[in-house]
Amino acid sequence: MNLTYRIVGNGYVIANNGIDWIVQEDYIPYPKDTIEASAQAHIDTIIADSEASIQEAISIADLQAKSVSQQETINELTLMIAELLGEGE
């Protein structure tokens, strides 16, 4: 993701990899002292949200891997218990 902006009238356009993506003309969601600063604040928020989503996805993947590992351990222990109980008879 390569985000840039250009000023258009009383607003701005955010481009993603050179392709117009977000147009803000009448409503400026991140108002600052200048339109330029507002556009940059918008980009900064998009990047921060994207990075947070990536970290969340990594955390979910880690939890899934731990869950699989724990299930494998449970399966191994279940087999060991079954073998021990079978030997005791």
pLDDT in tens, 40-87: 999 999 999 998 887 777 788 788 888 989 999 999 999 999 999 986
Own/partner contacts of 35-41, CB < 8 Å, gap of 24 or more, are 35/7, 35/10, 35/11, 36/5, 36/7, 36/12, 38/12, 39/5, 39/7, 39/12, 39/14, 40/5
pLDDT of residue 71: 92
Query: Greater confidence, 60 or 10?
Result: 10
Tokens describing residue 40 = 């940059």
Number of Cβ atoms within 10 Å of the Cβ of 14 = 18
pLDDT for position 81: 92
Any idea where the domains of the chain sit in the sequence? Answer: 3-87
Query: So what's the pLDDT on residue 89?
Result: 55
The answer to whether the beta carbons of residues 44 and 3 sit under 8 Å apart is no
Confidence (pLDDT) at 88: 52
What is the pLDDT at residue 18? Answer: 96
